[in-house]
Structure 1
Amino acid sequence: MDSLETSGLPLIPRRSRPLSRYAGLKPGTTTVLQRWLAGWLRRSWLVLVLLSLWEIAPQAGWIDSTFLPPLSDVLAAGWGLALNGQLYDNVTASLFRMLSGFAIAVVLIIPLGLAIGRYARLGEACNQLIEVLRNTAPLALLPVFILLLGIGEVAKVTMVFYSCAWPLLLNTIAAVKQVDPLLIKSGRTMGATPVQLFTRVILPAASPTIFVGIRLASASAVLVLVASEMVGAKAGLGYMIIYDQYSFLIPQMYFGILAITAIGLLLNYTLEAIEGRATRWKAPQGNV
C-alpha cells in the first residue's frame, strides 16, 4: 500500500460489501430483518423491561429469590426439564387436549351460530337455553364433568369444548345479525341464490367478527385447560405447575407458567395470520 502511494497511482476505494453477502442472505433481506427487529422492539419494549426487572430484582435483594427466582434460574430449570423429557411430555399432553377441544368447538359451533343468526325462529327457540348455559361458569362445572366423565382425557377435552363454545357461538350470531342489510338486498337484486347469498355475501361480511370469537375461544381454552389439569391429571402443564408448587420446585413452576404463556401467544399469532389471509379483502385499519 505504501508503494502505491509513493508511486503516485490513485488508490481505488474498496466498496463495502453489504452484511447480507457475508450472511449468505439475498440482497435486501438485511433491511427487511432490520425493519422487523425495529418494529418488534418498538412494540415489545415494555415486556423487555419487565423481564429485565424480573432478572434484576431478586439478585439485588428487592424481592426474596426463594419465592421469585431470577429469570435466568427459571430458564435454566426449563432447560433441565427439556433435557429429561418432562417438558415434552407435559406440553404434548396439554396441546392435545387444548387443540382437540378447540377444533371440535370451531367445527360444530360456528355452523350452529351461523344458522341461529340467519334464521330468527331458530334463534328465538334457542335464546333462553343459550342465556342459561353461557352464564354458567365452566370452572363451576368442572366437578360435574369429572363425576360424569371421570378424570381421563374425555373430561378435559369436553371442558375445553364447553369453554370455547360460548365466545364462538355469541360472536358468530352477532356477526350474522350485523351484516349490512343493503349487502343482502343487493345480492338478491343481482339474482343470487340463497346458497350464493350466504357463501358470497353473508359469510365474508361476518368473518371478521367470527375471528374475534375464535381468538377469544382460544384464550378460554388455555385458561380452562390449566384449571382442569390442576384438579385431575397426571400430565400437562397445569399438572406440572401445581406439582412443582407442592414440591417447592419454584423455578420449574415459573417456567411452566411461561410455557403456557408462550403457547397462548403462539396460538393467538397463528390465528391472526389466518385471519389476515381470510380477510384480505378488508381495508387495513386507519385507511379511509
Structure 2
Amino acid sequence: MADTTPAVSERLPGDVHWYDLPDDEAEPGSEGDFDSDEPGPERDFDPGEPGRAAAALPPAPRRKRAFGRTARRAATNSTAILLLLAAWEVLPRLGVVDPVFVPPLSENLVAWYDLLIGGQLSEHLQASLARSLAGFGLAILFAIPLGLLIGWYRPVANFLTPLLELFRNTSAVALLPVFTLILGIGETTKVTFVLYACAWPILLNTISGVKTVEPLLIKSARSMGLGPVRLFQKVILPAAVPTIFTGVRLAGAYSILVLLFAEMVGAKAGLGYLILDTQSSFRIPDMYAGIITISVLGLLFNLLLVGVERRFSTWRTT
C-alpha cells in the first residue's frame, strides 16, 4: 500500500506543526527541545526529581517545610531521653524503685538549683573545667604531632610501637595511685592524669588516620611531582582529619570521666569531690545534681567538638 503521508515540501497550506512556531509558542516539553536541561519559568517541575519540588515552592512555604523537618528530627532524637526522664520521675513516686536512693527527677533538679543559687555548684564546676581543659589541651598538643610522626615515618613507628602496645593496655585508673605517689595530691597530678588518659585515643586515631589514607591518592600525588612535605600537607593531613577528630571527641569525654577519679583523691573542690562528699554525707539529691551536671557538661563539650570538626572538614564532599 502506497504511503499517502504528504512530504514536508508537499504540506497543505493550513497545516501547522510545532517546529513552525516561534520559540515562545512552541509546546514546552515537546520532542526536539534539547537546548537546556534547566527548568524555565514555563516548564513543569517533576515532583519526583530531588530538590525540584522544594525549589518550586515560594520562600515562606519552603521555610515552613524545612522547620517541620527539623522539628520532626528533633522530636525523634529526643524521644528516648524524654522517656528516661519521665521514668525517673514516675517510678520512684510509684514505689517501683526506692525513692530514698533514687529520688524523683524533680527533687534532684530542686537540689541542683539550690546548689547553683548558693554558689557551690559554680565553684566545683570551675575547678573541674580548669583541670579538664588543661589536660585535654595538653593531650592535643602532645598526641597529634606524635601520632603524625609515628604514622608517617616507619623507623619511628618501629621504635615506639612496642612501648605503645605496652601502655595502651594499661588502664589509666589503675595508674592513678602511681601518679599520686610520684606527683603528690595537688593540681599537677590531676592535670597529668587527664593528659595521660586523653592522649591515647588522640594518638591511636591519629596514627590510624595517617596509615589508612587511600594509597591511590598518594600515588597520584607523587606522580604529579609532590615532594614528601607537600604530599603530607596536601594529601595525608587532610585525609586524616576525620579520624583525628574522632579521637579528639573520645578524649573530650575521657577528660571529664577520668577527672572524677582524680578529684576523689585529695581534692577539696570539683564535681568528683562534690559527688563523693554528698554520697558520704547521704545527701542523695545533691549527689544526683552533680551527676546531672557532669552529663550536661559532657554533652555540651561533645557538641562543641562536633562543630569544630565540621569547621575543619568543610573540604569534604557530602
Q: CA deviation at 1:281?
A: 2.5
Match of 1:231, SS state, is: coil
- The amino acid across from 1:210 in the alignment is I
* Closer, same or farther: CA 37–252 of 1 in aligned 2, 3 Å: farther
Q: Distance in 2 between matches of 1:243 and 1:32?
A: 48
Q: CA deviation at 1:59?
A: 1.4
Q: Write the mapping of 1:5-154 to structure 2, written as runs, cut at 5 A.
A: 34-154=68-188
Match of 2:269, SS state, is: coil
Q: Distance in 2 between matches of 1:126 and 1:35?
A: 50
2:230 maps to what in 1? 196
Residue ranges of structure 1 left out of the alignment (5+ in a row): 1-25
Residues 98-156 of structure 1, C-alpha deviation per residue, up to 9 Å, x if partnerless? 11101100011101000100000100000111111111111111111111111111100
Q: Distance in 2 between matches of 1:32 and 1:244?
A: 46
Q: CA deviation at 1:32?
A: 5.5
- The amino acid across from 1:255 in the alignment is A
Q: Distance in 1 between matches of 2:61 and 2:100?
A: 50
1:270 maps to what in 2? 304
2:254 maps to what in 1? 220
Match of 2:264, SS state, is: helix
TM-score (normalised: structure 1): 0.86
* Closer, same or farther: CA 37–255 of 1 in aligned 2, 3 Å: farther
1:15 maps to what in 2? none
Number of aligned pairs? Answer: 259
Cα RMSD after superposing both structures: 1.7
The answer to whether 1:245 aligns with 2:276 is no
- The amino acid across from 1:193 in the alignment is G
The answer to whether 1:261 aligns with 2:295 is yes
User: Which of the two has higher C-alpha Rg?
Assistant: 2
Give identity over the alignment, percent: 51
* Closer, same or farther: CA 183–222 of 1 in aligned 2, 3 Å: same
TM-score (normalised: structure 2): 0.78
Residues 210-259 of structure 1, C-alpha deviation per residue, up to 9 Å, x if partnerless? 11111111122122101111122100001000100001110010111111
* Closer, same or farther: CA 33–231 of 1 in aligned 2, 3 Å: farther
